[in-house]
Structure 1
Amino acid sequence: TCALPISFTDLCRPNDLGCKLNLQPIYFDFDRYSIRKDATVELAKILVAMQEHQEIIINIESHTDQRGSEDYNEILSSKRAAATRSWLIENGIAAERLTAKGFGASQPLIDCNQDSCSEEEHQLNRRSVFLVQQ
């Protein structure tokens, strides 16, 4: 094997701050919207990025896995988006720099019906992602 002499962020277009910041998703437990301890590590990185780049606005998009009804998943994803946004506000980010929207199960990373995915695959769908708007 050979190691590439570049990092992921070296592949970013020069004006793509979202790519350069390399903001990672956070994940949620099944049927929950509380912020997990491991998620606070990623949220802290986002907090620092937003403090260093006062010009950016973050759009938070939250999702569920495909289990449960469409209506329930819409509500759950909205609660996940709100919880994610609240954590950042409680830690010093101005509310007007954050938008939050839930998408239910409409945008899965791994498309599966209720029985065809492992728990690990379902986990990847239960997420909040962070999109940088400049």
Structure 2
Amino acid sequence: MCDCPYAYGFPFEYRYDINGTADILFRNDSSVREYVKPILTYVPTSGGTLSIVNHNDNDREFKLTGIPSSITAVIDNDNGIIQDTTSNVNLYDGFNLNFFRFVHGDNNLTVTGKGPLIISGRLLYNVAG
């Protein structure tokens, strides 16, 4: 028995080693046509900028600038929380106020930065009959 019309799929986690610019294709095959707002974990190998442009979301850009090296930035896009889990640097000062999200279907991304980027979350599925 299900008491709601949606169910979460299995958790996903993808790691991308970014060294300059990388093009990534993410397929959101959720049966629910809502935005998916994953968690981003970024560990820059050198300070600077993390930019993710989703070309399938009208070229919407998520951007953090002025990121110091050797931190761990965790961005919870669903809850609107950006934090440095290693030294408590205020990362909101360099944020462009566009939290990252996936649209339904293909998401062609252009990622700019230096260091590992982990994208994790869960997709929603319609289970109502």
For normalisation by structure 2, the TM-score amounts to 0.31
Higher helix share: 1
Higher strand share: 2
For normalisation by structure 1, the TM-score amounts to 0.30
Higher RCO (C-alpha under 8 Å, 6+ residues apart)? 2
